[in-house]
């Protein structure tokens, strides 16, 4: 029997979708850019399907799509410059909207505990991806801001900054990639603090939800 996506299980589909896309990104050296683009489009549709909807969220998405559409036209056909900066900004805004959508549902009192736990994990991944976008944008602006990072093409750069972001967010600190500039050091410190603060907030929220259900 086909299982429907509801507000009681939507984060299961969300996490499965985002993890599948991360696996595809990890295979980027062995697959074509077209395959990655197709995977990203499928991931985008599935993520939207697994999120709760509100008028504010729909307006935000529509505004973002219109901004991207008209922005690409201006950049490609009139300014004729590299659109990677604009694309990263749009991606960050999209991830921010997804993070906000997840947060609203997680904090809702009617959200089931198991779905809330899985949603918290999904939000953690999205936060790591948002910081990876910030690092990627910083490297395009100033390539020497991070050392030990193999830039390569756009996809390889994002994969490496994503790895670096999760290392910082989880406070692992392997030391293979290091921030160089003062601004980058501040950004890395801020992400590390956010990672620790996030864990504390999630634990307290889940404990509070558990006590309310008993």
- What would the pLDDT profile of 169-210 be if each residue is shown by its tens digit? 998 888 889 998 999 999 999 999 999 999 888 888 877 776
The 10s digit of each residue's pLDDT in 70-82 is 998 998 888 877 7
Out of 26-30, 69-73, 145-149, 210-214, pick the least confident. Answer: 210-214
**What is the distance between the alpha carbons of residues 120 and 184, in angstroms, rounded to a whole number?**
27
pTM of the model: 0.90
State the pLDDT confidence band at 84, using cuts at 50, 70 and 90.
Answer: confident
Integer Cα distance of 178 and 172 in angstroms? 13
Q: Which of 198, 161, 184, 176 is CA-nearest to residue 84?
A: 161
Q: Is the pLDDT assigned to residue 18 strictly greater than 60? A: yes
Instruction: Give the model's pLDDT for residue 210.
Output: 67
Q: What is the DSSP letter of 109?
A: T
The answer for residues whose C-beta is within 8 angstroms of residue 184's C-beta and 6 or more apart is 135, 138, 145, 146
CA distance 112 to 85: 39
């Amino acid at each position: 029997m086909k299982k429907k996506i509801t507000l009681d299980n939507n984060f299961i589909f969300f996490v499965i979708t985002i993890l599948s896309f991360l696996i595809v990104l990890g295979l980027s050296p062995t697959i074509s850019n077209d395959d990655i683009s197709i995977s990203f489009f499928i991931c985008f549709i599935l993520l939207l399907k697994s999120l709760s909807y509100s008028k504010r969220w729909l307006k935000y998405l529509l505004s973002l799509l219109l901004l991207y559409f008209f922005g690409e036209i201006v950049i490609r056909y009139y300014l004729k410059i590299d659109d990677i900066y604009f694309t990263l900004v749009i991606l960050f805004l999209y991830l921010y909207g997804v993070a906000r959508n997840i947060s609203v549902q997680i904090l809702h009192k009617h959200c089931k505990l198991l779905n809330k736990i899985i949603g918290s994990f999904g939000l953690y991944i999205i936060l790591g991806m948002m910081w990876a976008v910030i690092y990627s944008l910083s490297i395009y602006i100033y390539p020497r801001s991070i050392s030990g990072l193999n830039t390569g093409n756009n996809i390889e750069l994002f994969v490496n900054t994503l790895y670096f972001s999760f290392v910082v967010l989880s406070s692992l600190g392997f030391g293979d990639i290091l921030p160089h500039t003062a601004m980058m050091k501040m950004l890395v410190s801020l992400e590390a603090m956010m990672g620790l603060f996030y864990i504390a907030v999630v634990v307290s929220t889940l404990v509070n939800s558990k006590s309310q259900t008993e």
